[in-house]
Structure 1
Amino acid sequence: MRLKLVIFDVDGTLVDSQGLIVEAMNLAFEGEGLTPPSRADTLSIVGLSLDVAMFKLMPEADSDLRARLVDGYKQGYMMRRTETGVAQSSPFFAGAREVLERLRAQDDVLLGVATGKSRRGLDKLIEGHGLGGFFETTQVADNHPSKPHPSMITTALAETGVVARDAVMIGDTSYDMEMAAAAGVAAIGVGWGYHETTALSAAHCVAEDFAALEGALAQVWENAS
């Protein structure tokens, strides 16, 4: 049986965590007496590893300040997530869980994650949404260079034994699409996330909602066969 691998980004793709992300960033900057970035600027860095994200937001700052901002973000994020719970602070997008369940039920499909989250953050999300056992491979920022470096995808392929032509990356940012291109796998952009669809130029196609996602996957695999 020819196995297929579907790799999902998390924030902005499976779950809508923008409120939590923006609030945590605001807390980090305010904690240093700085004006927080705009909501648009904060959402523009979702998906990047935190050190890279903070450099993009504050390139003129010294490394010590950026490190404090990273720590402040982590603390604010964990505090707010604890207060509100995972399901409320990072709810599924409409149709996300149902699509995960249908894909998981297919014998020839494996599921994976490639996210800018930490291992701790991803584990909390999986636990909070009852997704234990859904993903065969989970790649996080702790172990890889930041997106769009292809390391997360190439490691996912190695762990599952799936060849690049049978893998698809699904994400909402240009970083996801560029990572997929660098790894030589197909990419499907999503129209409900944090980057404008015009930024997803490296995608093979863009699904406007989860109802369209399975059709987009079928089309990508048909083209690859």
Structure 2
Amino acid sequence: MRVAVLVYSLVMTIKLAIFDFDGTLADSYAVFADSVNVLAGRHGFRQVQWDEQHKLRGMSASELLRELRLPPWKVPAVMADFRNILQRHIHDIHPFPGVVDALHALLDKHMPLALATSNTLQNVTTVLGDALIGRFVMVECGTSLFGKSHRLRRILKHTRVANTEAIYVGDEIRDAEAANDAGMMFGAVAWGYTTMEALLRTRPGRLFRMPADMLELG
């Protein structure tokens, strides 16, 4: 039940907060939206019309692949190409307002933070800065489209934190699925790639409407 999830989230103690990057910490959606049809042309999947974007932002990764007629075997090449595009446009990508301050505040309250993302360490460091990334207990980059749960389990093993005492904060349905696969709570952010309506259907344990709300984790 939804009520049970909320009650559980209120009473549990968070000892580790793991974050997604794109759409959660970094505002990279504009670069993605501008690049998707370039990628479609290169890799042979369906072009996206401007008025389709809201509908697509309500889909899971699997649903999106079917909608774009993008076969799973092509996904690694598409993601690698997109990472290269992100790197070329990295100076157009910035943290969401308030995110950096919230992360530093959590760290100052001695909350261990980690990162699990499909983006590259170079891109992550360029956007967030060496000083902030250097304060994270672990950074796992370059995950596959559906490989985040493996990265989450690696972080839990490295930090020796129980899955019931950790949270994965993200903006996509696949983030919720990865957290669930790893036995962790999912924290949904309202400002990312996926619509809030779609994220609420995953029954997140925590909901963050603005970056300052993440301070409740500490």
Bucket of the pairwise TM-score, normalised by the shorter protein: 0.7 to 0.9
1:209 partner letter: M
Aligned to 2:134: 133
Change (3 A) 1:57 1:126: farther
**Percent identity at matched positions?**
21
The alignment's C-alpha RMSD in Å is 3.3
| Shift, 1:10, TM fit | 1.0
Q: Which has the higher contact order (CA 8 A, sep 6+)?
A: 2
The equivalent of 1:76 in structure 2 is 85
Q: Which residue of 1 aligns with 2:210?
A: 209
In structure 2, relative to structure 1, the CA distance for the partners of 1:139 and 1:53 (3 Å cut) is: farther
Structure 1 residue matching 2:207: 3-state secondary structure: strand
The Cα shift of 1:78 comes to 2.7
Structure 1 unpaired stretches of 5+: 219-225
Give the equivalent residue in structure 1 for 2:21.
Answer: 10
List gaps (5 residues or longer) in structure 2: 1-12
Residues 44 and 195, structure 1, Cα contact 8 Å, conserved in 2: yes
CA apart distance, 1:105 = 1.0
CA-to-aligned-CA distance 1:91-113 (integer Å, 9 cap, x gap): 22121111101111123x21011
Pair 1:80–1:212, CA change in 2 (3 A): closer
- How far did residue 55 of structure 1 move? 4.8
Taking structure 1 as reference, are residues 210 and 36 closer, same or farther at Cα in structure 2, changes over 3 Å only? same
The 1:80/1:202 distance shift into structure 2, 3 A limit, reads same
Moved more, 93-102 or 19-28: 19-28
CA shift for structure 1 position 7: 0.5
Distance 1:115 1:62 in 2: 19
For the residues of structure 2 that align with 1:186 and 1:32, how far apart are their CA atoms?
A: 35
Q: What is the aligned partner in structure 2 of residue 96 from structure 1?
A: 99
- How far apart are 1:77 and its partner, in Å? 2.8
Q: Distance in 2 between matches of 1:157 and 1:32?
A: 35
Distance in 2 separating the partners of 1:75 and 1:193: 21
Structure 1 residues 103-128: Cα deviation after superposition (integer angstroms, max 9, x where no partner)? 11123x2101111213443344344x
Q: Is the 8 A contact 1:150 1:180 kept in 2?
A: yes
Matched residue, 2:182:
183
> Is 1:152–2:163 an aligned residue pair?
no
Within 1, Cα distance between the matches of 2:25 and 2:72? 34
Change (3 A) 1:119 1:211: closer
C-alpha distance 94-71 of structure 1, shift in aligned 2 (>3 A): closer
Cα distance in 2, alignment partners of residues 13 and 33 from structure 1 = 29
1:111 paired residue number: 113
**How many aligned positions are there?**
201
Question: Could you say which residue in structure 2 is the equivalent of 1:28?
Answer: 39
Q: Letter of the 1:12 partner, please give it.
A: G
Residue 111 to residue 7, structure 1, CA distance change in 2 (3 Å): same
TM-score calculated relative to the size of structure 2: 0.74
Distance in structure 2 (CA, Å) of the matches to 1:103 and 1:79: 31
